[in-house]
């Protein structure tokens, strides 16, 4: 482990200047229209969780994704909580106050994702069982999901995320879910604007919608649908680092008016129709603010522009790093168009220098021609740019260490044996975490700044 100043004085990096202002991983990009709608809320005194900006964000996001209804909420995490609670109630009935709707039940969940995807399972008293990742898109592995149903046939709920804006193998996962009568919550927090060509578009377009062309994406192939269309309930996030931001905010997407109304009620403290505060259900203060909605409303027209900028960043890295023993984060070019939220790289196994990580620290030994995520992240940080390790898989997190984890070959826990070396189980998530990293992917990064980052990465391998 080097200190940051060591990198600046290391002859390997001679001639490279630190950035005078920080190059971020992914920061908000404002355009001016945001101010207009925030001012509008202030000027009209709709400084509340009611107002025209919220209504517009709901209308615009539902229309963009192709779901019939969107409910504006405080955060993507709040949207996930209510999506999972909604499914819990559908599957297992209403819970008493103080109890979750998933108590006594397991839920299958993406393993390589941000913890906000899976924590709401615990909020509802459920037990997440993590499904290993596949190398093709770095998302939930349908083969591991199939295995998981062999081990836990009673599971009825699956929570999937599209990591870094890359759609997962949706058709395969949906087929498995349908075969087991399971519901899907789709976390499209990172993938807003990404599309996936399903072999069965009618499966996702509800009655009366199948001839509405706005439900299909702008892509020339009419079966390309937006991520967020594939869950029984789906969510988006407008967190400050997302492709469209409101500083915070999220929406829950559904085709059911009853579900939309229920979530709206829960998010505003579950008030009943009475002259006084009357409550028959547990409530939450999860509604979106009309000020936050003003920022999102101003941002939404720039979604495609932001995606194009992110795609150009990915392409520049792909070309600039192609002579190194690394690969970019993969996607299924035939069936999906990511939103390119974060550009990542994966170092080839034989180009990894000796490298260990504890729960909070890492240590490596530099070797010529090799590198590791810590060296690259520390080097670019020394030059004032922000990268990030790959999201550490949930099954490796201390909080979830006793939870089930299923790989293609079956139970991913307790597979090792002191006497039989070959019994070590494959763990794709752990491998991508070990060899991968997220690169600075800010859409305000200039080509010159990006070239300097590419050069720093080359020098790491010298
Ligand atoms: C995959 C994923 N799900 C959920 C969330 C949570 O969204 P929010 O920050 O809006 O609560 C995030 C990130 O913030 C995320 O990356």
Q: 286 in ligand 1 pocket by Cβ < 6 Å?
A: no
Q: State residue 208's pLDDT score.
A: 53
- Cα(111) to ligand 1 centroid in Å equals 14
Q: State residue 18's pLDDT score.
A: 98
Q: How confident is the model at residue 279 (pLDDT cuts 50, 70, 90)?
A: very high
Q: State residue 418's pLDDT score.
A: 82
Pairing assessment for the beta strands 362-364 and 355-357 based on DSSP bridges = antiparallel
Question: Is pTM beyond 0.85 here?
Answer: yes
Q: What is the mean pLDDT of residues 195-210?
A: 81
CA distance 267 to 251: 11
CA distance 29 to 24: 11
Query: Which residues are registered as beta bridge partners of 363?
Result: 356
Q: 309 in ligand 1 pocket by Cβ < 6 Å?
A: no
Q: What is the mean pLDDT of residues 112-124?
A: 98
Q: State residue 422's pLDDT score.
A: 67
Low-confidence winner among 203-207, 273-277, 379-383 (lowest mean pLDDT):
203-207
Task: Residue 403: name the closest of 126, 75, 49 by CA.
Answer: 126
Q: State residue 424's pLDDT score.
A: 65
Q: Residue 199: is its pLDDT beyond 60?
A: yes
Q: How confident is the model at residue 212 (pLDDT cuts 50, 70, 90)?
A: very low
- Cα(442) to ligand 1 centroid in Å equals 17
Task: Residue 403: name the closest of 119, 99, 90 by CA.
Answer: 119
Mutate to test the pocket of ligand 1, among 61, 237, 267 (most ligand atoms within 8 A of CB): 237
Q: How confident is the model at residue 213 (pLDDT cuts 50, 70, 90)?
A: very low
The radius of gyration computed from the CA coordinates of the chain, to the nearest angstrom, equals 23
Token code pair at residue 194: 């990404």
Task: Residue 456: name the closest of 12, 66, 6 by CA.
Answer: 12
Three-state DSSP class for residue 392: coil
CA distance 283 to 30: 34
Low-confidence winner among 15-24, 113-122, 301-310, 425-434 (lowest mean pLDDT):
425-434
Q: 117 in ligand 1 pocket by Cβ < 6 Å?
A: yes
Q: 237 in ligand 1 pocket by Cβ < 6 Å?
A: yes
Q: Residue 4: is its pLDDT beyond 80?
A: no
Task: Report pLDDT digits (tens) over 392-435.
Answer: 999 999 999 999 999 999 999 987 788 887 656 689 999 999 99
When the pLDDT of each residue in the chain is averaged and rounded to a whole number, the result is 95
Task: Report pLDDT digits (tens) over 136-153.
Answer: 999 999 999 999 999 999
Q: State residue 426's pLDDT score.
A: 84
Residue 219 or residue 429, greater confidence? 429
Task: Report pLDDT digits (tens) over 237-271.
Answer: 999 999 999 999 999 999 999 999 999 999 999 99
Using the atom order of ligand 1, give the atom closest to the CA of residue 116: 4
Using the atom order of ligand 1, give the atom closest to the CA of residue 237: 10
Low-confidence winner among 14-28, 88-102, 136-150, 422-436 (lowest mean pLDDT):
422-436
Query: What domains appear along the chain, each with residue ranges and CATH number?
Result: 4-28+303-460 (3.90.1150.10), 33-301 (3.40.640.10)
CA distance 84 to 337: 27
């Amino acid at each position: 482990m080097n200190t940051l100043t060591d990198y600046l004085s290391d002859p390997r990096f001679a001639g490279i200047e630190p950035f005078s202002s920080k190059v971020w991983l992914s920061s908000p990009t404002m355009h001016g229209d945001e101010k207009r709608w925030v001012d509008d809320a202030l000027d009209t005194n709709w400084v509340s969780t009611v107002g025209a900006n919220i209504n517009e964000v709901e209308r615009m996001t539902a229309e963009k994704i192709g779901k019939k209804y969107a409910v504006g909420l405080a955060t993507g995490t709040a949207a996930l909580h209510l999506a999972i609670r909604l499914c819990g109630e559908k599957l297992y009935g209403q819970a008493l106050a103080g109890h979750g709707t998933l108590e006594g039940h397991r839920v299958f969940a993406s393993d390589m994702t941000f913890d906000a995807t899976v924590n709401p399972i615990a909020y509802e008293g459920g037990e997440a069982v993590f499904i290993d990742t596949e190398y093709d898109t770095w998302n939930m592995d349908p083969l591991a999901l199939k295995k998981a149903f062999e081990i836990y046939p009673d599971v009825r709920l699956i929570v999937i995320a599209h990591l870094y804006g890359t759609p997962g193998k949706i058709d395969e996962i949906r087929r498995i879910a349908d075969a087991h009568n399971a519901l899907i919550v789709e976390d499209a927090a990172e993938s807003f604007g990404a599309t996936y060509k399903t072999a069965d578009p009618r499966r996702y377009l509800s009655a009366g919608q199948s001839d509405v062309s706005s439900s299909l994406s702008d892509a020339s192939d009419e079966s390309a649908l937006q991520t967020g269309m594939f869950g029984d309930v789906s969510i988006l996030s407008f967190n400050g680092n997302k492709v469209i931001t409101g500083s915070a905010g999220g929406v829950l997407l559904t085709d059911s008016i009853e579900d939309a109304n229920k979530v709206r009620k829960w998010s505003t403290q579950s008030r009943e129709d009475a002259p006084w505060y009357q409550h028959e259900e547990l409530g939450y203060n999860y509604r979106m603010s009309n000020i936050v909605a003003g920022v999102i409303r101003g941002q939404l027209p720039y979604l495609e522009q932001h995606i194009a900028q992110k795609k150009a960043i990915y392409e520049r890295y792909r070309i600039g790093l192609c002579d190194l023993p690394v690969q970019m984060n993969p996607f299924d070019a035939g069936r999906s168009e990511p939103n390119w939220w974060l550009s990542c790289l994966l170092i080839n196994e034989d180009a990894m220098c000796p490298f260990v990580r504890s729960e909070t620290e890492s240590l490596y030994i530099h070797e010529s021609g090799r590198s590791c995520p810590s060296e690259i992240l520390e080097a670019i940080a020394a030059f004032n740019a922000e990268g990030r390790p790959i999201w550490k898989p949930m099954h490796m997190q201390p909080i979830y260490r006793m939870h089930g984890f299923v790989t293609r070959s079956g139970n991913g826990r307790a597979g090792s044996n002191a006497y039989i070396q070959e019994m070590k189980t494959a763990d794709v998530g752990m491998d991508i975490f070990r060899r991968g990293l997220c690169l600075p992917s800010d859409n305000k990064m200039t080509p010159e700044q990006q070239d300097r980052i590419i050069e720093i990465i080359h020098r790491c391998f010298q």
